[in-house]
Structure 1
């Protein structure tokens, strides 16, 4: 079986975001189990149904990148107990215009980190609801909603917190098995 191609969608635009660090650490931990392709969302225009007849080039690029992947991994922060607006906008673009849902039938993993006491629990629940609406199957367990703490991931992207490493390894093991089944 060929190595699964995983589209990596990071829900934060900030260059030094904690979730970008987490995404890098997960990629390193996964080794050669997956091929990761980051699918950028920063250049996507706000979704406007008036543009459906002449869909924006950035939107078409995003849709094609999603379609080219075997599965997706969303890595998202939590903003005001939900997902960032840019992430919701990307999902809206990927599922439009009607009849051209790029997400339909995809398998997806969801992880995230945020400084709040509950990490990204609320954001992940909201994201799971949105993804269900666009015909996505989300890996049910383990849920990885990490409370960000300085030093869990070092400047080189290595996971220094052993408990976090075990949780992420468990997630990758489950994700790999789920994709193969």
Structure 2
């Protein structure tokens, strides 16, 4: 079973990113186990925690991420960048130095926005960070989702066949990338 950690860059209860993540998770084929990862409970990264009084949340998070085979990042854009909660999770997982849970793994980025801007800034900032963290990131198709609020029905499901087809193509390409790195 290939384990996929799904990290959502929004804490809001009814976040569009969460709805999007739940929809994307159902497109993984048999043999893949996507899991939504809680990141809102992580204390802000502090280098003192690398060696002294490591928070239990860090230990649990790092263990869980270490056990994942790949990561799907679904994020809104805050002020043209990655939300603090997601950046904090990346920082916590990358430390202590030399013990990154991200290195050598595979990832995909899906950014979104209720506006026409589609989370472009967050997508590119996140990709830049993932390069440094040695995460092999899906290059194509790129997933910038504009006007995300319009994509869901009253039950939070994708309401547009062409959008659903696109999301399936993103997950299919991501699965191909994962399989390439598993060989």
Matched residue, 1:96 = 95
Matched positions, count: 179
- Partners of 2:58 and 2:173 lie apart in 1 by 31
Structure 2 counterparts to residues 3-152 of structure 1, below 5 A: 3-30=1-28, 32=30, 34-54=32-52, 55-152=54-151
**What TM-score does the superposition give when structure 1 sets the normalisation length?**
0.93
Look up the SS of the partner of 1:76 in the other structure.
Answer: strand
Which structure 1 segments of 5+ residues have no match?
none
What's the CA shift string for 1:141-181, capped at 9, x where partnerless? 11111013434122333211122111101101111111111
Which structure 2 segments of 5+ residues have no match?
none
What's the CA shift string for 1:126-155, capped at 9, x where partnerless? 000011111111011111110134341223
Q: Give 1:33 shift.
A: 5.2
What's the CA shift string for 1:22-80, capped at 9, x where partnerless? 00111123353521112111110011111111321101111111111110100000001
**What TM-score does the superposition give when structure 2 sets the normalisation length?**
0.92
Whether the 8 Å contact between 1:114 and 1:148 is mirrored in structure 2 is yes
Q: Give 1:4 shift.
A: 1.7
